[in-house]
A and B are shown apart, each in its own frame.
Chain A
């Protein structure tokens, strides 16, 4: 017994229509799925900054293990390229990406500002250090300033004589210096490489020297010698004879004048 399958022409046409409808449904479904994929990808783009992550997610959804060459072209021949093409305008417009970009820019600016601030701070510290050194140097120079002692020594010839008796070499005029300070003097007394300056003033002289030790070693002996010469001159002028003049072990000079 045989079975005859009979399909009428009407039925055949209906079958073709149904088949076409089924294909259309499948096509629309495919289109909807693709659109859903595009929408999902766009959504992911707004949430995930890195395009590679989006591509990986897309690959997972498509059952594709990995897209190795995410090159986007204008030839939209595959659904994934459609998605990537749809992603392309959003790649650089992602709020997260923009936020990250802004943060990176801000951080870069901050780092740059910090570096600049650090450099300025270093320069400022160097300036302060140099300023302190200058102040220290100025203070040191101030301590070395010339010493001036005004004396009522009016007889400059007697000053020269006293200095000569004490072993001074006399030059004039000259300049006494100490550090940056200079003093022009009328008479310079030089002994043992040390200088004492004598400056003429209205009421007497001004003794100038640069080392406080010179006062004890040179200026005071000069004052003693000057007083001695003046005393001898005074005694002679008053008609006294110098009976005795001697230097005592204490450094004092004793003079006795006698008049009958």
Chain B
């Protein structure tokens, strides 16, 4: 099964991640892993109908570099 990660990086550094082809909550795990990698935080989480299917998941995340 092909796993696909689609990233959209806005001009101000926000990142939107779309995860396809990952099973169960693994898509959430990779999103969190990515947020940590870019020193960002998940600001928006949107699941599709595929999220509730047992095998394949499509998950969108909007990740923004954190400011302290």
Task: List A residues at the B interface (Cβ < 8 Å).
Answer: 149-155, 201, 203-204, 220-221, 223-224, 226-228, 230-231, 233-235, 237-238, 240, 251-260
Contacts and interface: CB of A to CB of B under 8 A. Distances in A.
Contacts of A226: 13, 65
Contacts, number: 98
B38 A230 contact: yes
A254 B11 contact: no
A255 B9 contact: yes
B13 A220 contact: yes
Nearest to A232: B7
A149 B30 CA distance: 28
Interface in B1-52: 2-15, 30, 33-34, 37-40
Contact of A224 (B9, B33, B34): B9
Contacts of A255: 6-9
A151 B12 CA distance: 12
Given A240-B5, A257-B4, A233 B37 contact: yes
Contacts of B8: 252-255
